[in-house]
Chain A
Amino acid sequence: MADLTASRTKPVAAPSARKARRMTDLRRQPGFNAMAWGCIVFLYSPIVVLIVFSFNDNRSVVRWTEFSLRWYGEAFQNKGIRNATVISLQVASVATFFATIFATLAALATTRVRAYKGQTLAYAIINQPLMVPEIVTAVSTLALFTIIKKATGVNGIGYLMLAHTVFCIPFAYMPIRARLEDMDLTMEQAGADLYATPYQVFRRITLPLLMPGVFAGAMLAFVVSLDDIIISLLVAGPGETTLPIFILGQIRRGITPEINAVSTLLLGLSLFFVILLFWITRKRK
């Protein structure tokens, strides 16, 4: 599977060493490297501050006093933070799961086909959640869910998950579609020539080739769901305080470094997962 993925980039990447060096040189544009490094510094300096202050003994998130793990202990003991973190992860997992599946199916139906009636419309509908300011979605979704809740008497966290699924779909869809548009068709044609059924072609060739896109889509959806605040704020029911809602409450009344500690832990956790993913794919090679 990994070999197939790699083969696509080979023609560009595998010329002789001397030629490769010359090409890398030609690829450079003045100032671009500095800009890229600047971008990384820009993206990371706040995070470094965040991590550093999670180890600060003082209650203040502004002044450094001395190293301590105290806020990690307090974060673990803080029931509010703990619950909020679990809820956030649950909602993000479920929304990502469904959004990624729906987006993959939709991407298969909207890419690499001859233009058909309704294609643009389908495309527009899928991207609709991106085109609407969040606050509008939030209020109108609340109104709709209330009607449903009253009519059916069904409550629960499912509504929040559903709301997240809706806006996660376009985020998952983009990378999957990009990957599909980009894919080499010869493999699939060869498969079909060798009398593979369409299903076999899909299972054995298309899907594995598509996997990096699917993963990218799932990751994006997950992160977007974890970050969402306005929609969650309005749609969440009892016991459904997500981490951003909790943090917003904290910011309004004075933030404590416990939040820094939780953020650092979440960052560590995601780092772990991504490295695990890297490691698994590499091992397969």
Chain B
Amino acid sequence: MKRTTLTLGMAAVASFTLAAPVLAEGKLNIYNWGNYTSPELIEKFEAEYDVEVTLDGYDSNETMLAKVKEGGTGYDIVVPGDYMIKIMIQEGLLAEIKPNEMENFSNMDPKWVDVWWDEGRNYSVPWQWGTTSFTVDTEVYDGDINTLKLLFEPPAELQGRINMLNDMNDVINAGLRYLGYERCNGNVEELKEVTDLLLEAKQHWRTMDYSTIEKLTSGDVDLSQNWNGAAMRAREQRPTLQYAYPVEGFTGWMDNVAVLADAPNMDNAKLFVNFIMAPENAALISNFARYANGIKGSEEFMDAEMLTAPEIVMPADAPTPDFVKPCPQETVDLYNRIWTRLKG
């Protein structure tokens, strides 16, 4: 018995020493959303540049920020959402890598160059972009789906069959749109109305959760607030689902690749940024996670079903997606209180 303990102990110590990672040349540490990075893309990059890539996942912009803000993470690449890019630039967390001077920059769709979160693209390049709206099972509800009314004043057949995203901004923004108010709104009268709307609607919601695909395909709910790529993946398993483009408007978002100011492998990080702007590589990203990527010419390399999917190709009469800016702290505080009251 003693010998077993000793062996176990030695094995443990050995694994300890072996496991200590060495941040040497030829490495790249990527910190991206979980289950969001094409393994093919990584393998291709590794082979092309002889770099060993480490990939870790996070579950929200805020988790990532909390970690990165503390510094010394050892990560090179992060993939923050639009508003988070803005925040991270302000906080001095990102390196000014000048993607706009890189070789493959000409491939970027011009409409994604002068964006409010990174004017002229001095820090970041598009990873994927999409919309946040909702998915309805048209077999359960056969009326007009393009209205937020379904979320806030649902018809009888959808009551108790709704999943909302467990996300303060997505829920409150949808409420603001339904009532026709501005996003990032500090107007307390209007917010009070939104609060009442949400509290009233909550009784009809079954869940508030991020795992939308699973909620829809398991039959737990018949309507779910959703991202378009997830909507497409859910529809593959439940064909009667349809993605709505509500007339009141819906959120657009873009996740962007950026390099941390304290990146240990700065050169490889820059190589990677340039690498993903090549159309054939950008297509790999989209084929995996089912979102559009913002690189011209990547369509030729994309799966056929993506080019026609109603979730990806917006109908001509749909409103323009609304890319919501980060709100001032006072507004965030108000939102927090609404959110706490909603869930308290």
Which residue numbers of A lie inside 8 Å of B, CB to CB?
1, 59-60, 62, 78-80, 87, 90, 93-94, 96-97, 142-143, 146, 149-150, 155-158, 161, 208, 211, 214, 233-234, 236-241, 245-246, 248-255, 277, 280-281, 284
Contacts and interface: CB of A to CB of B under 8 A. Distances in A.
Contacts of B11: 93
B11 to A, nearest CB: 7
B231 to A, nearest CB: 12
Interface string B41-74: 0000000000000111111000100110011111
B110 interface: no
Nearest to B18: A90
Nearest to B220: A62
Interface of B: 1, 4-5, 8-9, 11-13, 15-16, 19-21, 23, 29, 31, 33-36, 39, 54-59, 63, 66-67, 70-75, 210-211, 213-214, 217-218, 230, 233, 237
Nearest to A59: B237
The 6 closest A-B pairs by CB, nearest first: A249-B34, A238-B29, A97-B12, A254-B213, A239-B54, A146-B70
Interface majority SS (helix, strand, loop, mixed), chain A: helix
B42 to A, nearest CB: 8
Given A96-B12, A150-B71, A253-B36, A238 B56 contact: yes
A96 B59 CA distance: 28
Contact of A281 (B1, B19, B230): B1
Given A62-B218, A249-B59, A255-B214, 19 more contacts: A79-B39, A90-B16, A94-B16, A97-B8, A142-B66, A146-B71, A149-B71, A155-B21, A155-B72, A156-B20, A157-B19, A236-B56, A238-B31, A238-B54, A238-B74, A239-B29, A251-B214, A252-B211, A254-B211
Contacts of A146: 70-72
B9 A97 contact: yes
A238 B214 CA distance: 29
A186 B184 CA distance: 75
Contacts, number: 118
Contacts of A233: 63
B215 to A, nearest CB: 10
A252 B59 contact: yes
A158 B20 contact: yes
A248 B58 CA distance: 9
Contacts of A96: 12
A280 B1 contact: yes
Nearest to A276: B4
A249 B37 CA distance: 12
B213 A253 contact: yes
19 contacts: A1-B1, A60-B237, A80-B39, A90-B16, A93-B12, A94-B12, A94-B15, A142-B67, A155-B74, A214-B5, A238-B73, A239-B54, A241-B56, A246-B57, A249-B57, A249-B59, A253-B211, A254-B211, A254-B233
B217 A62 contact: yes
Nearest to B16: A94
Nearest to A241: B56
B20 to A, nearest CB: 4
Nearest to A208: B1
Most B Cβ at <10 Å: residue of A94, A157, A161: A94
Given A150-B72, A246-B57, A251 B13 contact: no
Contact of A90 (B8, B15, B70): B15
B221 to A, nearest CB: 13
Contacts of B213: 253-254
A254 B66 CA distance: 24
